[in-house]
A and B are shown apart, each in its own frame.
Chain A
C-alpha cells in the first residue's frame, strides 16, 4: 500500500514538473492521473489497489463512532437505573490477528465500546482478557461485535 501511495505522489510530482505550474490544483490533477495509471496497471502490483484499503479504514472509523455512541447510551442507562443489578465478569476472547498494531487497534476499539475493557493481553498474543460490565445479556452480542471489529480490521490489513 505504501508503495502504491508513494508512486501516486511521484506521478503527481512529475505532472507538476511537466506542466510547470506548482499549485495545489495541479497536484490534485496529477494525483487523479496517477490513480488512473495505477488502476490501468493494477495487475503488476501484488497487493490490492490502495483505495480499497483507505475505504476499509474509513468504514472502520464510521463503525467505531457508531459503537462509541451506542456504548455511551448503554452505560448511561446502566448508571441511571435505580437498582443496580449488573453482573461484571472477566472473559477470554481468542483472536487470530497477527501484527502488533492490529492487536493494539482491536483493544483500543474494544475499550471504547459497550461495556467492555481490555484487561490483559496474553503473552503469546492469542487471547485478550476482557472485563465486561454486564454480561448476562451482552455475552453473545459482544462476541458478534468483536467479530465485526476483527473482520473490519482484517479488511484493512489484508494485502
Chain B
C-alpha cells in the first residue's frame, strides 16, 4: 500500500452515499477514486469519459456533451472533485489567477465552471501537493465559493478536501476547515507546518487504509501505476 493508494480510497470515500449522480473527478487520483467507488459501494454513479460520452461498466452508456453538462450542473445531480491553485479556511477555491485580477502576477485557467459548480451541487477538492502556497488564509480570486460567501446559496455544499497529507472538512456552524484525518505516516504537525492558516485538529483521526479488495481493484484500474506520479 502506497500513499497514492490511500489518496485513491480517500477520494473514493468522497462519493459515499451519493447514489445515482454524475461523478466529475478532475485529475487522475480523483478519477481512480470515483471508479473505485463505483466498483465497490456506489455502483450507480455516472462517469463521463472526459469528452462527450458516459461510460458504464461495459462501455458507452450515454451522451453528455458540454451543453448537457451545464444542464446536469443546474439540475444539481452531480458531485465534482476539482483541483485548486489556492484554497482557504472557508473552502473558497481559486483557479483563475494569482495576484490582482486586473493585472495578475500569474494567469491560470480562469474561473471555468467553479462558480456554477459550487452554487449548484456538492463539490470536493483534490490537492496533490499540500503547501502553504495552496492552503492560504484568503484566496486571491474566489472561483469556487466557500462557506463565508455562500449565505444566499441554498444548494451550496463543499464536502471535503483531500490532499497528499490528509482529509479536511468544514463542520457547522462556523464551517472552518478542519483536519479530519492524516494519512498513515503523516503527522498532524506536518500538516500544520504546510498550511497557511489555523486548522481545528481536536478530533483528527487516521485516514483508513485500503482493504485488500480495494488494493486489487486499484491495481486493476491502474496497472501502469500512473497514480504514483502524484
Q: Is the A/B pair a real complex?
A: no
